[in-house]
Protein backbone atom coordinates (compact mmCIF):
# COMPACT_ATOMS: atom_id res chain seq x y z
CA UNK A 1 0.00 0.00 0.00
CA UNK A 2 3.04 2.29 -0.22
CA UNK A 3 1.90 3.81 -3.55
CA UNK A 4 -1.72 4.13 -2.44
CA UNK A 5 -3.86 6.57 -4.42
CA UNK A 6 -6.69 8.14 -2.44
CA UNK A 7 -9.75 10.05 -3.63
CA UNK A 8 -12.33 11.89 -1.52
CA UNK A 9 -15.95 12.02 -2.70
CA UNK A 10 -18.05 15.00 -1.63
CA UNK A 11 -17.97 18.77 -1.62
CA UNK A 12 -19.11 19.55 1.92
CA UNK A 13 -17.29 20.45 5.11
CA UNK A 14 -16.14 16.93 6.03
CA UNK A 15 -14.85 16.23 2.53
CA UNK A 16 -13.03 19.56 2.52
CA UNK A 17 -11.46 18.83 5.92
CA UNK A 18 -10.31 15.36 4.87
CA UNK A 19 -8.77 16.69 1.65
CA UNK A 20 -6.93 19.30 3.72
CA UNK A 21 -5.56 16.60 6.05
CA UNK A 22 -4.47 14.34 3.19
CA UNK A 23 -2.78 17.17 1.26
CA UNK A 24 -0.42 17.72 4.19
CA UNK A 25 0.96 14.17 3.89
CA UNK A 26 0.51 13.16 0.24
CA UNK A 27 1.89 14.37 -3.09
CA UNK A 28 -1.49 14.09 -4.80
CA UNK A 29 -5.07 13.73 -3.60
CA UNK A 30 -8.08 12.92 -5.77
CA UNK A 31 -11.26 14.88 -5.10
CA UNK A 32 -14.68 14.39 -6.64
CA UNK A 33 -17.37 17.03 -6.38
CA UNK A 34 -20.27 17.36 -8.77
CA UNK A 35 -20.24 21.18 -9.13
CA UNK A 36 -17.78 22.22 -11.86
CA UNK A 37 -18.16 25.89 -10.95
CA UNK A 38 -16.93 25.16 -7.42
CA UNK A 39 -14.01 23.16 -8.82
CA UNK A 40 -12.99 26.05 -11.03
CA UNK A 41 -13.18 28.42 -8.07
CA UNK A 42 -11.01 26.16 -5.88
CA UNK A 43 -8.35 25.81 -8.56
CA UNK A 44 -8.22 29.58 -9.03
CA UNK A 45 -8.60 30.77 -5.43
CA UNK A 46 -7.23 27.78 -3.46
CA UNK A 47 -10.18 27.36 -1.10
CA UNK A 48 -13.73 26.00 -1.11
CA UNK A 49 -16.15 28.95 -1.42
CA UNK A 50 -19.01 27.08 0.23
CA UNK A 51 -17.43 25.20 3.14
CA UNK A 52 -14.45 25.86 5.42
CA UNK A 53 -13.32 28.79 3.31
CA UNK A 54 -10.41 29.41 5.70
CA UNK A 55 -8.79 26.11 4.63
CA UNK A 56 -6.27 26.86 1.87
CA UNK A 57 -5.10 24.17 -0.56
CA UNK A 58 -1.93 23.62 -2.52
CA UNK A 59 -3.83 23.17 -5.77
CA UNK A 60 -0.86 21.48 -7.46
CA UNK A 61 -1.57 18.54 -5.14
CA UNK A 62 -5.22 18.24 -6.16
CA UNK A 63 -6.52 15.95 -8.88
CA UNK A 64 -10.06 17.28 -8.83
CA UNK A 65 -12.93 16.31 -11.12
CA UNK A 66 -16.71 16.46 -11.52
CA UNK A 67 -16.60 13.01 -13.17
CA UNK A 68 -17.15 10.40 -10.48
CA UNK A 69 -15.97 7.58 -12.74
CA UNK A 70 -12.66 9.33 -13.36
CA UNK A 71 -12.01 9.45 -9.61
CA UNK A 72 -13.10 5.84 -9.06
CA UNK A 73 -10.72 4.78 -11.83
CA UNK A 74 -7.87 6.88 -10.40
CA UNK A 75 -7.92 5.79 -6.76
CA UNK A 76 -7.24 2.57 -4.84
CA UNK A 77 -8.87 3.87 -1.66
CA UNK A 78 -12.14 5.81 -1.88
CA UNK A 79 -13.30 8.02 1.00
CA UNK A 80 -17.00 8.90 0.82
CA UNK A 81 -18.15 12.07 2.59
CA UNK A 82 -21.44 12.58 0.74
CA UNK A 83 -24.54 12.98 2.95
CA UNK A 84 -26.29 9.62 3.35
CA UNK A 85 -29.54 10.97 1.88
CA UNK A 86 -27.82 11.62 -1.47
CA UNK A 87 -25.13 8.94 -1.77
CA UNK A 88 -27.25 6.35 -3.61
CA UNK A 89 -27.87 8.83 -6.42
CA UNK A 90 -24.12 9.42 -6.75
CA UNK A 91 -23.22 5.74 -6.56
CA UNK A 92 -25.66 4.99 -9.38
CA UNK A 93 -23.44 7.05 -11.68
CA UNK A 94 -20.51 4.66 -11.22
CA UNK A 95 -19.98 2.39 -14.22
CA UNK A 96 -16.91 0.42 -13.14
CA UNK A 97 -16.88 -2.25 -10.48
CA UNK A 98 -16.03 -1.28 -6.92
CA UNK A 99 -15.07 -4.82 -6.00
CA UNK A 100 -11.31 -4.22 -5.98
CA UNK A 101 -11.47 -0.89 -4.15
CA UNK A 102 -10.89 -0.07 -0.49
CA UNK A 103 -13.85 1.93 0.80
CA UNK A 104 -13.79 4.24 3.82
CA UNK A 105 -16.86 6.10 5.00
CA UNK A 106 -16.86 9.50 6.67
CA UNK A 107 -20.67 9.59 6.44
CA UNK A 108 -22.62 9.81 9.69
CA UNK A 109 -25.94 8.35 8.68
CA UNK A 110 -28.09 5.55 7.34
CA UNK A 111 -28.81 5.19 3.62
CA UNK A 112 -32.60 5.73 3.37
CA UNK A 113 -33.10 3.42 0.37
CA UNK A 114 -31.69 0.36 2.17
CA UNK A 115 -31.86 1.23 5.88
CA UNK A 116 -28.18 0.26 6.16
CA UNK A 117 -25.15 2.13 7.42
CA UNK A 118 -22.67 2.87 4.66
CA UNK A 119 -20.30 -0.02 5.34
CA UNK A 120 -23.15 -2.55 5.32
CA UNK A 121 -24.50 -0.98 2.11
CA UNK A 122 -21.19 -1.40 0.27
CA UNK A 123 -20.84 -4.96 1.56
CA UNK A 124 -24.36 -6.10 0.64
CA UNK A 125 -24.95 -4.19 -2.60
CA UNK A 126 -21.45 -4.17 -4.08
CA UNK A 127 -19.99 -7.31 -2.54
CA UNK A 128 -17.01 -5.55 -0.98
CA UNK A 129 -15.51 -7.66 1.82
CA UNK A 130 -15.52 -6.11 5.28
CA UNK A 131 -11.72 -6.19 5.41
CA UNK A 132 -11.81 -3.62 2.56
CA UNK A 133 -14.33 -1.38 4.31
CA UNK A 134 -13.52 1.19 6.96
CA UNK A 135 -14.83 4.17 8.88
CA UNK A 136 -13.40 7.59 9.73
CA UNK A 137 -15.02 9.03 12.82
CA UNK A 138 -14.41 11.59 15.54
CA UNK A 139 -14.68 13.24 17.93
CA UNK A 140 -13.86 15.89 15.37
CA UNK A 141 -15.63 18.89 13.82
CA UNK A 142 -14.49 19.88 10.35
CA UNK A 143 -14.54 23.56 11.33
CA UNK A 144 -11.81 22.99 13.93
CA UNK A 145 -9.73 21.04 11.41
CA UNK A 146 -9.84 24.09 9.15
CA UNK A 147 -8.59 26.22 12.06
CA UNK A 148 -5.91 23.58 12.84
CA UNK A 149 -7.12 23.13 16.40
CA UNK A 150 -6.01 19.91 18.11
CA UNK A 151 -8.42 17.15 17.05
CA UNK A 152 -8.66 13.36 17.32
CA UNK A 153 -9.83 10.85 14.72
CA UNK A 154 -10.61 7.14 14.95
CA UNK A 155 -9.95 5.05 11.83
CA UNK A 156 -11.72 1.69 11.98
CA UNK A 157 -11.24 -1.36 9.75
CA UNK A 158 -11.11 -5.12 10.27
CA UNK A 159 -7.78 -5.05 8.46
CA UNK A 160 -5.69 -3.05 10.93
CA UNK A 161 -2.93 -2.57 8.33
CA UNK A 162 -5.33 -0.56 6.14
CA UNK A 163 -6.55 1.44 9.13
CA UNK A 164 -2.97 2.17 10.18
CA UNK A 165 -1.98 3.22 6.66
CA UNK A 166 -4.84 5.68 6.29
CA UNK A 167 -4.38 7.03 9.82
CA UNK A 168 -0.78 7.91 8.92
CA UNK A 169 -1.99 9.94 5.94
CA UNK A 170 -4.48 11.82 8.13
CA UNK A 171 -2.12 12.50 11.04
CA UNK A 172 -0.42 15.86 11.51
CA UNK A 173 0.76 18.27 14.23
CA UNK A 174 -2.89 19.08 15.02
CA UNK A 175 -4.53 15.72 14.17
CA UNK A 176 -4.01 12.67 16.37
CA UNK A 177 -5.33 9.31 15.23
CA UNK A 178 -6.09 5.92 16.71
CA UNK A 179 -7.29 2.72 15.06
CA UNK A 180 -10.12 0.33 15.85
CA UNK A 181 -11.46 -2.95 14.47
CA UNK A 182 -15.07 -2.11 15.41
CA UNK A 183 -16.28 -0.90 12.01
CA UNK A 184 -19.94 -1.66 12.73
CA UNK A 185 -20.05 -0.16 16.22
CA UNK A 186 -18.13 3.02 15.40
CA UNK A 187 -20.25 3.69 12.32
CA UNK A 188 -23.51 3.16 14.19
CA UNK A 189 -22.22 5.40 16.99
CA UNK A 190 -21.39 8.13 14.48
CA UNK A 191 -24.94 7.91 13.16
CA UNK A 192 -26.71 7.67 16.53
CA UNK A 193 -24.91 10.64 18.10
CA UNK A 194 -26.56 12.92 15.53
CA UNK A 195 -30.00 11.88 16.78
CA UNK A 196 -28.96 12.56 20.37
CA UNK A 197 -27.54 15.93 19.32
CA UNK A 198 -30.95 16.83 17.88
CA UNK A 199 -32.47 15.89 21.24
CA UNK A 200 -29.93 18.13 22.99
CA UNK A 201 -30.81 20.97 20.63
CA UNK A 202 -34.55 20.54 21.17
CA UNK A 203 -33.97 20.60 24.93
CA UNK A 204 -31.98 23.83 24.65
CA UNK A 205 -34.62 25.40 22.42
CA UNK A 206 -37.30 24.50 24.96
CA UNK A 207 -35.32 26.19 27.74
CA UNK A 208 -33.88 23.19 29.59
CA UNK A 209 -30.58 24.00 31.27
CA UNK A 210 -27.13 22.44 31.61
CA UNK A 211 -28.20 20.21 34.48
CA UNK A 212 -30.78 18.48 32.29
CA UNK A 213 -28.37 18.34 29.33
CA UNK A 214 -25.92 16.37 31.49
CA UNK A 215 -28.62 13.84 32.35
CA UNK A 216 -29.69 13.66 28.70
CA UNK A 217 -26.12 12.92 27.52
CA UNK A 218 -25.61 10.36 30.29
CA UNK A 219 -28.77 8.54 29.22
CA UNK A 220 -27.83 8.90 25.54
CA UNK A 221 -24.54 7.03 25.87
CA UNK A 222 -26.25 4.20 27.73
CA UNK A 223 -29.01 4.08 25.11
CA UNK A 224 -26.35 4.01 22.38
CA UNK A 225 -24.65 1.08 24.12
CA UNK A 226 -27.90 -0.89 24.26
CA UNK A 227 -28.69 -0.24 20.61
CA UNK A 228 -25.21 -1.07 19.25
CA UNK A 229 -25.06 -4.22 21.38
CA UNK A 230 -28.25 -5.42 19.67
CA UNK A 231 -26.82 -4.67 16.22
CA UNK A 232 -23.31 -6.08 16.68
CA UNK A 233 -22.31 -7.73 19.92
CA UNK A 234 -18.57 -7.57 20.60
CA UNK A 235 -16.26 -6.35 23.33
CA UNK A 236 -16.04 -2.55 23.14
CA UNK A 237 -15.61 0.29 25.62
CA UNK A 238 -18.48 2.68 24.98
CA UNK A 239 -16.60 5.37 26.94
CA UNK A 240 -13.86 5.57 24.29
CA UNK A 241 -13.56 8.74 22.22
CA UNK A 242 -15.13 7.21 19.08
CA UNK A 243 -18.38 6.65 21.01
CA UNK A 244 -18.71 8.93 24.06
CA UNK A 245 -16.32 11.61 22.83
CA UNK A 246 -18.07 11.94 19.49
CA UNK A 247 -21.44 12.08 21.23
CA UNK A 248 -20.34 14.86 23.56
CA UNK A 249 -18.82 17.12 20.91
CA UNK A 250 -21.87 16.72 18.67
CA UNK A 251 -24.28 17.30 21.54
CA UNK A 252 -22.56 20.39 22.93
CA UNK A 253 -20.56 22.12 20.17
CA UNK A 254 -21.60 25.39 18.54
CA UNK A 255 -20.47 23.81 15.25
CA UNK A 256 -22.98 20.93 15.53
CA UNK A 257 -25.57 21.32 12.77
CA UNK A 258 -27.70 18.56 14.35
CA UNK A 259 -27.84 20.43 17.64
CA UNK A 260 -28.61 23.63 15.69
CA UNK A 261 -31.42 21.87 13.84
CA UNK A 262 -32.88 20.54 17.10
CA UNK A 263 -32.59 23.95 18.72
CA UNK A 264 -34.71 25.47 15.96
CA UNK A 265 -37.33 22.73 16.39
CA UNK A 266 -37.42 23.41 20.12
CA UNK A 267 -37.92 27.11 19.47
CA UNK A 268 -40.97 26.41 17.33
CA UNK A 269 -39.68 26.02 13.78
CA UNK A 270 -41.34 23.40 11.63
CA UNK A 271 -39.09 20.66 10.28
CA UNK A 272 -39.39 22.10 6.77
CA UNK A 273 -38.58 25.66 7.80
CA UNK A 274 -35.62 24.55 9.92
CA UNK A 275 -34.17 22.53 7.04
CA UNK A 276 -34.65 25.41 4.61
CA UNK A 277 -32.80 27.82 6.90
CA UNK A 278 -29.78 25.54 7.35
CA UNK A 279 -27.11 25.55 4.66
CA UNK A 280 -25.90 22.06 5.61
CA UNK A 281 -27.62 18.69 5.99
CA UNK A 282 -28.57 17.55 9.49
CA UNK A 283 -27.87 13.82 9.15
CA UNK A 284 -29.76 13.06 12.35
CA UNK A 285 -33.08 13.95 10.71
CA UNK A 286 -32.80 11.06 8.24
CA UNK A 287 -31.15 8.77 10.80
CA UNK A 288 -34.02 9.17 13.27
CA UNK A 289 -36.53 7.54 10.93
CA UNK A 290 -34.27 4.72 9.76
CA UNK A 291 -33.15 3.96 13.31
CA UNK A 292 -36.70 3.95 14.65
CA UNK A 293 -37.76 1.49 11.93
CA UNK A 294 -34.69 -0.72 12.49
CA UNK A 295 -35.30 -0.80 16.22
CA UNK A 296 -38.71 -2.35 15.67
CA UNK A 297 -36.74 -5.48 14.78
CA UNK A 298 -34.01 -5.05 17.40
CA UNK A 299 -36.19 -4.18 20.37
CA UNK A 300 -33.69 -2.00 22.23
CA UNK A 301 -34.97 0.38 24.89
CA UNK A 302 -34.56 3.78 23.16
CA UNK A 303 -36.78 6.47 24.70
CA UNK A 304 -34.62 9.34 23.37
CA UNK A 305 -34.63 8.06 19.78
CA UNK A 306 -38.38 7.46 20.07
CA UNK A 307 -38.89 11.02 21.30
CA UNK A 308 -36.91 12.58 18.44
CA UNK A 309 -38.78 10.43 15.91
CA UNK A 310 -42.15 11.46 17.36
CA UNK A 311 -41.25 15.16 17.12
CA UNK A 312 -39.75 15.05 13.62
CA UNK A 313 -42.01 12.55 11.86
CA UNK A 314 -45.25 12.38 13.85
CA UNK A 315 -45.28 16.17 14.30
CA UNK A 316 -45.95 15.79 18.01
CA UNK A 317 -45.39 18.70 20.37
CA UNK A 318 -41.75 18.95 21.58
CA UNK A 319 -43.08 20.37 24.87
CA UNK A 320 -45.29 17.34 25.52
CA UNK A 321 -42.76 14.78 24.25
CA UNK A 322 -39.99 16.15 26.47
CA UNK A 323 -42.30 16.37 29.45
CA UNK A 324 -42.83 12.62 29.12
CA UNK A 325 -39.16 11.95 28.29
CA UNK A 326 -38.04 13.64 31.49
CA UNK A 327 -39.87 10.96 33.49
CA UNK A 328 -38.05 8.11 31.73
CA UNK A 329 -34.50 9.44 32.31
CA UNK A 330 -32.40 8.88 35.42
187 part of a folded domain: no
pLDDT in tens, 57-67: 999 999 999 99
3-state secondary structure of 8: strand
Quick one: 218 and 138 in the same domain?
A: no
Report the C-alpha gap between 11 and 164 in whole angstroms.
Answer: 25
DSSP string, 251-292: HH-TT-HHHHHHHHHHTT--HHHHHHH-SS--HHHHHHHHHH
| pLDDT value for 203 | 98
154 pLDDT band, cuts 50/70/90, is very high
Q: What share of the chain has pLDDT > 70, as a percent? A: 99
The CATH number assigned to the domain holding 72 equals 3.40.50.720
Q: Say if residues 174 and 148 touch (Cβ distance below 8 Å).
A: yes
| pLDDT value for 99 | 86
Quick one: 265 and 302 in the same domain?
A: yes
Of 106, 80, 112, 109, nearest in space to 93 by CA? 80
Q: Say if residues 162 and 128 touch (Cβ distance below 8 Å).
A: no
Report residue 108: phi and psi, to 5°.
-105, 60
| pLDDT value for 296 | 94
Check pLDDT > 60 for residue 51: yes
Quick one: 173 and 265 in the same domain?
A: no
Quick one: 249 and 300 in the same domain?
A: yes
pLDDT in tens, 193-214: 999 999 999 999 999 999 999 9
2 pLDDT band, cuts 50/70/90, is low
Report the C-alpha gap between 141 and 248 in whole angstroms.
Answer: 12
E strands, 66-220, in order: 77-80, 102-105, 110-111, 116-117, 133-137, 151-157, 175-180
Domain count, the chain: 2
Of 65, 131, 66, 76, nearest in space to 98 by CA? 76
Domain boundary among 118, 151, 181: 181
Report the C-alpha gap between 229 and 300 in whole angstroms.
Answer: 9
pLDDT in tens, 294-319: 999 999 999 999 999 999 999 999 99
Known catalytic residue: 108? no
Report the C-alpha gap between 176 and 5 in whole angstroms.
Answer: 22
What's the whole-number average pLDDT of the chain?
93
What is the domain extent for residue 215?
A: 192-328
Beta bridge partners of 285: none
Quick one: 135 and 18 in the same domain?
A: yes
- The arithmetic mean of pLDDT across residues 3-13, rounded, is 93
Quick one: 116 and 258 in the same domain?
A: no
Check pLDDT > 90 for residue 31: yes
109 pLDDT band, cuts 50/70/90, is confident
Beta bridge partners of 134: 104, 157
Q: Which one of 20, 101, 108, 193 is the catalytic residue?
A: 193
263 part of a folded domain: yes
Check pLDDT > 60 for residue 234: yes
Check pLDDT > 60 for residue 1: no
Run of H or E residues at 296: helix 283-298
Run of H or E residues at 62: strand 62-65
3-state secondary structure of 155: strand
Quick one: 73 and 212 in the same domain?
A: no
Say how many Å lie between the first and final Cα of the chain, rounded: 49
| pLDDT value for 211 | 96
Domain boundary among 129, 151, 181: 181
Domain boundary among 181, 201, 228: 181
Check pLDDT > 70 for residue 192: yes
1 part of a folded domain: no
Of 243, 252, 251, nearest in space to 304 by CA? 251
pLDDT in tens, 261-300: 999 999 999 999 998 888 777 889 999 999 999 999 999 9
Report the C-alpha gap between 133 and 101 in whole angstroms.
Answer: 9
Does 159 or 96 have the greater pLDDT score? 159
Beta bridge partners of 136: 155
3-state secondary structure of 22: helix
3-state secondary structure of 115: coil
Cα diameter, the chain: 58
Amino acid sequence: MSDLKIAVFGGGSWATAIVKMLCEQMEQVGWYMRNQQTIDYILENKHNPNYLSSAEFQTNKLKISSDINEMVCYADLLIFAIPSAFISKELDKIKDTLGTKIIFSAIKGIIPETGLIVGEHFHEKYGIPYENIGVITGPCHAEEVAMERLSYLTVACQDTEKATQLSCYLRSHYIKTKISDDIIGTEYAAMLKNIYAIAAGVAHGLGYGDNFQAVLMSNSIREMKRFIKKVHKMKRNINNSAYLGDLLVTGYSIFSRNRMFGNMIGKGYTVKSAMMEMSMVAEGFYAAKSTFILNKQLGANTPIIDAVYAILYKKQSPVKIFKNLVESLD
